[in-house]
Structure 1
Amino acid sequence: MGCAAVVTFWFVTATDPAVVLSGEPKADRGFGRKLLAQLNPAWPITPIGEFPLNRSSTPSRAEFYIAGYPGVAVVQTLIEDVSTITGAAQHLLRALPASDVYIIARGEDSDFAGFAHFAGETAKRAFAATRDAVAEDIGLPEPFEAPFWAGETVEQLGGISLPFVPKELASAAEASWLGIDVSPDGPDLGVVGYAVDGRPEPKIAPAVRAPKSVGEVAARFAEKDKGYDDYLDTTQDEEGDEFAALADATVAAAKKVGRGLARRARSLAIDIRERIRHSDRG
């Protein structure tokens, strides 16, 4: 019986993927959109954000995290029913051309995990298990697996339990094959998130710039007034902007004192702005 698992597909053609990934490459929105359209032209594709793969929450149902770098591409998604890695591989194994495909699966609500290395369409190594049962074991163990099978990585439970935690072994496989630490401690691996369930694109409110304090604006005036030549280089528009900033800062400060002062400061701000606006009319 399978379980829901977050499955990550690494498509590698680069000779040294660690060099590519350690440079913290950026993701391209167009790459993922094009890939998803090829996988299923009927999907309504919605970008849902850009973020580091290794510092974000995992994808939910109908979501994909995708990036294409020089010689390396990654696709991460949630697959509802995973029992073996070779079975899960059929979802996306041929999605992109690659000499090597590395697949890492981690159970969403269980201790299930697994990993696989495909050279073309041939599984060179595949393993999947929970702590108490092995679901798949293809090929010979690789060198990075040795301390896990030797029981050196975790306290032993005894009985039929495996001498390691499957998710920890899956992470070790990923790090060994890619040559980097794919965790929050590793380099940022930028991806673009997409949803294919028809949801609207999230709206992000623009950041609100906090008003400058009177002290900050006054400090700029002091810098301008240090030398006469510097003052001559200042344009009228720049002066106007700074006077307006001072007026705005005065309003902000006055609000903290009381409404009466705020009204007077606001009148001063309006008067300054009007004088600036009419100063070039003679």
Structure 2
Amino acid sequence: MGVKVGILAFGDDIPVRLRGGPVADEDRTLEFVRRVHPGYVVEPIEGCALKYATYPPDDVVFASSSAGLDIVCDQRLTLVQPSTLSGHLCRIGDGRRMAVLGMHSVTDWLSYGTWSDGVLVRSLNLTPDSGIIESVGEPLPFEAPYWAGGHPVEDPYPLPFHPLDLGQTALRHLFGFATDGPDHADDRAAGEVDLLGFRVTDPTGAEQAARDAIRQEVLQMVRAATGQPAGRE
């Protein structure tokens, strides 16, 4: 599965509001993105439909702010651990419900969390290699068939289900759409919501330098494993 998702939303009933086709207010959305990334440079660019916006390129954010709903898709959210989500993001919620979900198919990583009035209600974070990294609160109802063995994976597999399968179910229940699997009518309604686009960059250059360092480390590991000579990209 080539699935990567990083999504965060604030709203009293996020799936219902998304399926209702909210229209982003440009000024409001710009201010929302600036609050999500304080101190960063934020510049408007071309937008994208929600279903295709869940894993933007580096330094690109897709977002929408409208009455009763704020939503942002950002690669930076892909590998988030919900319980350590930055406090300023919880404050943006201002008493509303909040949900975050991250998936990454390279490691079969899945994490999601829900909050009510700023209090973490449920957090799950797991990978097949690391097992259950975090499990806070009672499992949500849609999780039950997965923990009960209703979605088995071919043996041997260290979990009773594939994280990305549960991830698509969580995405549908928490946000109202899915990016993979059978297409539901309600999914189409939410997935076709237009998000505005922004280039969001760290003016200090530190974030890009950290990404470059990680990529160089990975490249060196690949070369060592395959016997390729060292050199520049």
TM-score, normalising length: structure 1? 0.59
CA distance 1:190–1:98, shift in 2 (3 Å): farther
Q: What displacement does 1:98 show?
A: 4.1
Aligned counterpart for 1:105 among listed residues 91, 98, 102: 102
Give the secondary-structure state (helix, strand or coil) at the position aligned to 2:55: coil
In structure 1, the residue matched to 2:6 is: 7
Question: 2-side partners of 1:162 and 1:35: how far apart?
Answer: 38
Contact 1:114–1:167 at 8 Å: present in 2 too? no
Matched length: 191
CA distance 1:7–1:34, shift in 2 (3 Å): same
Which of structures 1 and 2 has the larger relative contact order (alpha carbons within 8 angstroms, sep 6+)?
A: 2
Does residue 1:182 correspond to 2:186, yes or no?
no
Q: What displacement does 1:131 show?
A: 2.0
Does residue 1:145 correspond to 2:143, yes or no?
yes
Aligned counterpart for 2:27 among listed residues 26, 30, 35: 30
Question: 2-side partners of 1:24 and 1:131: how far apart?
Answer: 36
In structure 2, the residue matched to 1:157 is: 155
Contact 1:89–1:103 at 8 Å: present in 2 too? no
**One-letter amino acid of the counterpart of residue 147, structure 1:** P
- For structure 1, the 5+ residue unaligned runs are 199-282
In structure 2, the residue matched to 1:51 is: 48
In structure 2, the residue matched to 1:192 is: 196
In structure 2, the residue matched to 1:87 is: 84
Does residue 1:166 correspond to 2:163, yes or no?
yes
Larger Rg: 1
Question: 2-side partners of 1:81 and 1:102: how far apart?
Answer: 13
CA distance 1:96–1:138, shift in 2 (3 Å): closer
Question: 1-side partners of 2:48 and 2:110: how far apart?
Answer: 24
**One-letter amino acid of the counterpart of residue 134, structure 2:** E
Which stretch has the larger CA shift, 135-144 or 189-198? 189-198
Question: 2-side partners of 1:155 and 1:40: how far apart?
Answer: 39
Aligned counterpart for 1:128 among listed residues 119, 125, 132: 125
Which stretch has the larger CA shift, 89-98 or 147-156? 89-98
Contact 1:115–1:127 at 8 Å: present in 2 too? yes
- For structure 2, the 5+ residue unaligned runs are 203-233
Q: What displacement does 1:22 show?
A: 1.7
> Percent of pairs identical after alignment?
23
Does residue 1:77 correspond to 2:59, yes or no?
no
CA distance 1:58–1:144, shift in 2 (3 Å): same
Does residue 1:65 correspond to 2:69, yes or no?
no
Residues 57-86 of structure 1, C-alpha deviations (whole Å, 9 max, x = no match): 611222221112331211121228946221
Question: 2-side partners of 1:57 and 1:124: how far apart?
Answer: 23
Question: 2-side partners of 1:54 and 1:123: how far apart?
Answer: 26
CA distance 1:91–1:162, shift in 2 (3 Å): farther
**One-letter amino acid of the counterpart of residue 157, structure 1:** D
CA distance 1:109–1:117, shift in 2 (3 Å): same
Which has the larger share of strand? Answer: 2
